Amino acid sequence: MAVYLVTGGAGFIGAHIAEALIRRGDSVRVLDNFTTGKRANLAHLPDVEVVEGDIRDTARVCQAMARADYVIHQAARVSVTQSMADPATTHDVNVTGTLNLLKAAREEGVKRFVLASTCAVYGDNDDLPLKETSAPRPLSPYAASKLIGEVYCQMFQRAYGVPTVCLRYFNVYGPRQDPNGEYAAAIPRFLQRMKQDLPPLIYGDGLQTRDFVYVSDVVRANLLACEREEAAGQVLNVTTGRDVSLLELADTLNEVCHTHFTPRLEPARAGDIRHSRGDGTRLAAVLGFQPAISLLAGLQQMLR
């Protein structure tokens, strides 16, 4: 039985990954400091071993890494806005924490180390759809920290022989995504306001576009990245290849929820990118991956 370490495994995406691994019979260990992760996300998974700790704590990292075959690294400080206000902490968590994990993975001889990266590394880039070869232009400390994490992963493969894969997530959504707080993602935040009989709140003119990927597709990409030999050393977009404006998203939510809200527009936020749409050609070639869930189907599943 393979042992998987899922960092940030009590978070939105991490808990879905842990659940999928448990379902297929793997052994799962979660490392989470519960700053944003929730114990409730793991409550239905009694077989998961939980190590409470921070990825910046080398002793805790080594404890969690013991006997691990695969590492799926989801733990991060992910808010763009928060990173603009406090770049040092974002760097410390996302860069130093990743380096700690890579060092421990090397010592343990793990078979694969999969990093959750982000499409934010591309920044505002007119080269749409965005390919893995597109020039990175990070607009925030968050995006910069993820790009540095990718560089460390690739270096550890070349210099130390640690097989790594970097997955650049586009805009992930799905059940159990936290709608609360200033830094919440668009879809759960829109849905929460609409359930409160309030219009969706959009920062900017609403014409900015995003490539929304359902969480089960992201989980599948992570598992394939662990399994496919040809994935080692790759940087891969996890994308649907389709972009939707935030105004179009609001219209789709109105359709699904049978409502008629007109979004409220607020000033744009620093560090937010304008347009985002990924190219999934390399993902399909390397992992044999095609997205299975459309935006409409995903939103319907979330509501159910």
Give the tens place of pLDDT for each residue, 8-42: 999 999 999 999 999 999 999 999 999 999 999 99
Domain 173-210+241-277+292-303 has CATH 3.90.25.10: yes
Over range 203-220, report the average pLDDT. 96
Beta bridge partners, 173, equal: 214
CA 117, CA 148: separation in Å to the nearest integer? 10
DSSP for 48-111? -EEEE--TT-HHHHHHHHTT-SEEEE------HHHHHH-HHHHHIIIIIHHHHHHHHHHHHT-S
pLDDT at residue number 273: 79
pLDDT at residue number 124: 87
* Distances in whole angstroms, Cα of residue 128 to Cα of each of 143, 208, 236, 238: 18, 13, 16, 15
* Distances in whole angstroms, Cα of residue 285 to Cα of each of 6, 47, 231: 25, 34, 10
* Distances in whole angstroms, Cα of residue 45 to Cα of each of 15, 27, 68, 96, 211: 9, 11, 19, 30, 30
Over range 190-194, report the average pLDDT. 93
Contact 31, 5 (CB under 8 A): yes
CA 147, CA 119: separation in Å to the nearest integer? 10
- Percent of the chain exceeding pLDDT 70 equals 99
pLDDT at residue number 181: 58
Is the pLDDT score of 180 beyond 90?
A: no
Neighbours of 233 (CB within 10 A): 13
Q: Do domains 3-171+215-238 and 173-210+241-277+292-303 have the same CATH topology?
A: no
- CA torsion through residues 216, 148, 133, 232, sign: negative
Write the CATH number of the domain with boundaries 3-171+215-238: 3.40.50.720
The domains of the chain are located at 3-171+215-238, 173-210+241-277+292-303
| Pairing verdict, β 3-7 and 70-73 | parallel
Over range 92-97, report the average pLDDT. 98
